Amino acid sequence: KGPGMFHPYDSGHIAMTYTGLSCLVILGDDLSRVNKDALLAGLRALQLEDGSFCAVLEGSENDMRFVYCASCICYMLDNWSGMDTKKAVDYIRRSMSYDNGLAQGAGLESHGGSTFCGIASLCLMGKLEEVFSEKELNRIRRWCIMRQQNGYHGRPNKPVDTCYSFWVGATLKLLNIFQYTNFERNRNYILSTQDHLVGGFAKWPDSHP
C-alpha cells in the first residue's frame, strides 16, 4: 500500500483516539471538526458484553486500560452515549481483588495501573462513591498508600518503578489522600533515575531511559 491509500483494516484504535482527543484539548481545539457521532458509534462497537472494551474493531485484548480510554473519550466529548456505563461500572466493580486493589479484570491480580484506570473512570463518570462504600474506599486507599517505599511499585513485592509515581500517585490524589505520602522520598527517587548524559528518566537508577 502506498501513501494516501486506505485498507479495510485501517480501523481506529481506542488508545490513539483518547490520546488524539487529549492532544487537541491541550492545544486549545474546540473539537468542532471531530466527527463525534462516528466516534461514539465506533466506541459503542468496541464494548463487550462484560462491560470491558477492545482496542480495535477486529478484536484485541480487553481490560481496564480501555475502559479508562473509553471513559476519557466520553468525558471529553461530554457525551456518555458511547458506552453502556452500567456494564462498565459493573466491570470495574468486579475487578476489585481480595487485597482491595483493582485488577485488569475480575479474578486477576491487583495492579497500580489498573487501579488508577478503574478509579479515574469512576471519577469521570461521577460514580466513585456510588460504586464503592466509604469502607471499601478506605481499603483501596490503604492498598495504594502501601505501594510507596521511596518511589512507588505497582504490585506487592515488586521493585519500585518511576511510572508508578504517576499511576499510584494520581490514584491517591483522586482518593484525596496524596497529602499523606512522602513527597521528598518520591521526588528523590524520580530524580535519581535521570540519565545525566542523554537526559530523560528511566524506570530505575543507573538504567537507560
- Which domains occur in the chain, in start order? 14-142 (1.50.10.20)
Compute the mean pLDDT over every residue in the chain, rounded to the nearest whole number.
Answer: 95
How far is CA 94 from its chain centroid? 17
Looking at residue 102, the DSSP 8-state letter turns out to be B
Q: What is the pLDDT of residue 209?
A: 83
Q: What is the pLDDT of residue 6?
A: 65
CA–CA distance, 190 with 205 (Å, rounded to integer): 9
Residue 2 scores a pLDDT above 90: no
CA–CA distance, 145 with 6 (Å, rounded to integer): 48
Q: Is the pLDDT higher at 9 or at 162?
A: 162
Q: What is the pLDDT of residue 109?
A: 97
Q: What percent of the chain has pLDDT over 90?
A: 89
Q: What cell does 104 get?
A: 485488569
Q: pTM to 2 decimals?
A: 0.93
Residue 86 scores a pLDDT above 60: yes
pLDDT in tens, 116-171: 999 999 999 999 999 999 999 999 999 999 999 999 999 999 999 999 999 999 99
* Average of per-residue pLDDT across 185-191: 97
* Confidence grade of residue 206 (pLDDT, cut at 50, 70, 90): confident
Residue 7 scores a pLDDT above 80: no
Sign of CA dihedral 16, 207, 145, 99: positive
- What number of other Cβ atoms are within 10 A of residue 20's Cβ? 15
Q: What is the pLDDT of residue 63?
A: 96
Q: What is the pLDDT of residue 107?
A: 96
Q: What is the pLDDT of residue 27?
A: 98
Q: What is the pLDDT of residue 158?
A: 95
Q: What is the pLDDT of residue 196?
A: 87
Residue 75 scores a pLDDT above 80: yes
* Confidence grade of residue 8 (pLDDT, cut at 50, 70, 90): low
- What number of other Cβ atoms are within 10 A of residue 196's Cβ? 5
Q: What percent of the chain has pLDDT over 70?
A: 96
